[in-house]
């Protein structure tokens, strides 16, 4: 877990990706790597999710995680496909427990002090804050940090080039999840040069 946290923290951005066609997976990875960001959270929102994770796990030096994981069954599937970490939109205790027991890095979504209490119970060091902007963004994170100062965050939801630096300036934010540089329409249209440029611009920002 610590190794994955360190990798995510060094990258600062986790691209949240929905791939409709597994044939786009390698070109997407090339585009992200070309922009200086060899990482992707492949969501299970599409049927190509698992196959894309399996494809990208074969690439040296590319960090691949699975997102939108809702159950223990899905957690097992993504791990079998090669996911190096798991991200979930909410806090499912059964999924978190399975990941902890099997030493699978997981960043479950939190949106309240109750969620954070559960994170402490499971000994988690980093959680996803989702949907960040809709829940008050930086002000809410600052409020959470007071009583939960041992936990760090990966805000996701509403993060863009216009506000990511503000989030990353918070010392208890390790990275941000974002999809503005990997929008589904760009991937489907094969506009990978544009993805590379957007990724490069994002990395230059931070």
- Looking only at the bridges linking them, the beta strands covering 176-178 and 152-155 are unpaired
**H helix and E strand count, the chain:** 10, 8
Task: Indicate whether 206 belongs to any domain.
Answer: no
Does 128 participate in catalysis according to the annotation?
Answer: yes
Distance of alpha carbon 90 from alpha carbon 136, whole angstroms? 17
Domain span at 29:
2-201
Task: Indicate whether 30 belongs to any domain.
Answer: yes
Task: Indicate whether 99 belongs to any domain.
Answer: yes
Task: Indicate whether 92 belongs to any domain.
Answer: yes
Q: What is the CA radius of gyration of the chain?
A: 16
In terms of Cβ atoms closer than 10 Å to its own Cβ (0-12, 13-18, 19+), residue 97 is middle
In tens, the pLDDT along 9-23 reads: 999 999 999 999 999
Structure tokens at 120: 């402490």
Among 3, 9, 12, 41, the active-site one is 41
Per-residue pLDDT, averaged over 109-124, amounts to 98
Report the pLDDT value the prediction gives residue 163, as an integer from 0 to 100. Answer: 98
Report the pLDDT value the prediction gives residue 22, as an integer from 0 to 100. Answer: 97
Task: Indicate whether 133 belongs to any domain.
Answer: yes
Per-residue pLDDT, averaged over 125-136, amounts to 98
Residue pair 82/106 in contact (Cβ under 8 Å)? The answer is: no
Among 3, 54, 128, 139, the active-site one is 128
Mean pLDDT of the chain: 98
Task: Indicate whether 167 belongs to any domain.
Answer: yes
In tens, the pLDDT along 166-197 reads: 999 999 999 999 999 999 999 999 999 999 99
In tens, the pLDDT along 85-105 reads: 999 999 999 999 999 999 999
Task: Indicate whether 32 belongs to any domain.
Answer: yes
Stated pTM of the model: 0.96
How many domains, in total, are found in the chain? 1
The CATH number linked to 65 is 3.20.20.70
- The kind and range of the H/E element at 90 are none
Report the pLDDT value the prediction gives residue 103, as an integer from 0 to 100. Answer: 97
Report the pLDDT value the prediction gives residue 100, as an integer from 0 to 100. Answer: 98
Distance of alpha carbon 149 from alpha carbon 170, whole angstroms? 12
Report the pLDDT value the prediction gives residue 30, as an integer from 0 to 100. Answer: 98
Distance of alpha carbon 197 from alpha carbon 87, whole angstroms? 26
Task: Indicate whether 79 belongs to any domain.
Answer: yes
């Amino acid at each position: 877990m610590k190794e994955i946290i360190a990798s995510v923290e060094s990258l600062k951005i986790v691209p949240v990706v929905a791939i409709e066609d597994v044939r786009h997976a390698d070109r997407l990875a090339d585009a992200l790597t070309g922009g200086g960001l060899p990482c992707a959270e492949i969501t299970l929102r599409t049927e190509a999710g698992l196959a894309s994770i399996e494809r990208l796990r074969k690439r040296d030096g590319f960090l691949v995680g699975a997102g939108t994981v809702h159950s223990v069954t899905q957690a097992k599937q993504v791990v079998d496909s090669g996911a190096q970490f798991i991200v979930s939109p909410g806090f499912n205790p059964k999924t978190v427990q399975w990941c902890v027991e099997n030493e699978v890095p997981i960043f479950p979504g939190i949106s309240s002090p109750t969620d954070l209490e559960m994170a402490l119970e499971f000994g988690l060091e980093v959680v996803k804050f989702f949907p960040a902007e809709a829940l008050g963004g930086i002000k809410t994170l600052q409020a959470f940090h007071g009583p939960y100062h041992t936990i760090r965050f990966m805000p996701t939801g509403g993060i863009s080039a216009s506000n990511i630096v503000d989030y990353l300036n918070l010392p208890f934010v390790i990275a941000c999840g974002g999809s503005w540089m990997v929008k589904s329409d760009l991937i489907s249209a094969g506009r990978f040069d544009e993805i590379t440029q957007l990724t490069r611009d994002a990395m230059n920002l931070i």
